[in-house]
């Protein structure tokens, strides 16, 4: 993946998403504007640099920049924390960001134990490429059991984009899938030479029209918390509240917790799924003895 091309594409995409009104600029006649979002001269002014310097940067002709310059761009383009980290990573390692590391795929036993002890909470750990590294029983029932899969089939993103079951599971599929594409974009910067990740991105680009549409937008996303609306074949619609936690000492791993508001129909549905999943696990264990 060519870093200078990625930087140029990201800057163009980012300024297209910022309207003059967002940054307090007078717009005059909106119909007279020839580009969506900000013009190059407006970004340069807001970032405190010359138009020529910014133009060369957007053309991929500048590969290194000081933290002060990058911070100016972040402010001008109204980037969030995840996008800021992404932009810094596109410049030289001298910007103070760690070099890419090999992906970590092993989950510590204590984390598996913690997830298994959670009541009415679906818990799973994702790695690079949204690779599902571990799940508790409720997560397996709520989504699917990725622990039986190998290779690219372990990716939650691949399931959501290419498997009809995954597509149907998300009632807000467009929003959820767009976020997944943005997560993969984030991962592609920290692991540009990861073979499986590049294979996944290539497959999604070829097979998914939506992914092919979203990938060039260069959105980056860091799941933190929010709400997802799922449709489960056993219990119907669920409104899920989720929280995400970084795994200590494993920068590539994140733990996701899916639960429901107390007293809600979705909490009752999760309790039913938890009971069903526990019974299925017990049956499987009995048959394996």
pLDDT given at position 180: 95
231 & 272 share domain: yes
- Residue pair 43/69 in contact (Cβ under 8 Å)? The answer is no
Nearest 5°: the CA angle 220, 223, 225 is 145
141 & 206 share domain: yes
145 & 239 share domain: yes
Three-state DSSP state, 112: helix
165 & 247 share domain: yes
pLDDT tens for residues 77-106?
Answer: 888 877 887 888 787 544 444 444 567 789
- Residue pair 157/184 in contact (Cβ under 8 Å)? The answer is yes
The answer to whether residue 104 is domain-embedded is no
Domain holding 46: CATH number?
1.10.260.40
- Residue pair 231/237 in contact (Cβ under 8 Å)? The answer is yes
pLDDT tens for residues 5-14?
Answer: 778 888 888 8
The answer to whether residue 203 is domain-embedded is yes
* Tally of structural domains, the chain: 2
The answer to whether residue 139 is domain-embedded is yes
Give the DSSP letter of residue 69.
Answer: H
Range of the domain at 72: 3-95
As a whole number of angstroms, the distance between CA 226 and CA 233 comes to: 23
Enter the pTM of the model: 0.75
pLDDT-based confidence at residue 33 (cuts at 50, 70, 90): low
As a whole number of angstroms, the distance between CA 160 and CA 174 comes to: 10
């Amino acid at each position: 993946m060519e870093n200078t091309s990625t930087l140029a594409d990201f800057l163009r995409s980012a300024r297209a998403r910022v309207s003059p009104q967002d940054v307090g600029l007078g717009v005059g006649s909106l119909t007279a504007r020839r580009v969506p979002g900000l013009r190059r001269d407006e970004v340069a002014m807001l970032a405190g640099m010359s138009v020529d310097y910014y133009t060369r940067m957007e053309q991929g002709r500048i590969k290194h920049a000081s933290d002060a310059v990058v911070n100016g761009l972040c402010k001008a383009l109204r980037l969030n924390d995840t996008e800021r980290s992404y932009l810094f990573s596109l410049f030289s390692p001298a910007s103070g960001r760690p070099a890419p590391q090999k992906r970590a795929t092993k989950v510590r036993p204590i984390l598996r134990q913690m997830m298994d002890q959670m009541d009415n909470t679906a818990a799973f750990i994702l790695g690079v490429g949204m690779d599902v590294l571990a799940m508790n029983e409720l997560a397996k029932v709520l989504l699917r059991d990725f622990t039986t899969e190998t290779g690219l089939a372990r990716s939650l993103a691949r399931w959501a984009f290419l498997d009809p079951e995954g597509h149907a599971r998300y009632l807000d599929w467009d929003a959820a899938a767009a976020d997944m594409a943005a997560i993969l974009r984030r991962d592609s910067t920290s692991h540009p030479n990861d073979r499986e990740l590049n294979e996944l991105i290539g497959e999604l680009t070829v097979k998914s029209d939506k992914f092919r549409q979203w990938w060039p937008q260069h959105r980056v996303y860091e799941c933190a918390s929010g709400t997802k609306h799922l449709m489960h074949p056993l219990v119907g619609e669920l409104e899920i509240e989720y929280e995400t936690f970084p795994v200590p000492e494993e920068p590539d791993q994140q733990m996701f917790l899916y639960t429901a508001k107390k007293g809600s129909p979705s909490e009752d549905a999760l309790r039913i799924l938890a009971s069903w999943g526990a019974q299925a696990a017990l049956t499987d264990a009995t048959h394996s003895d």
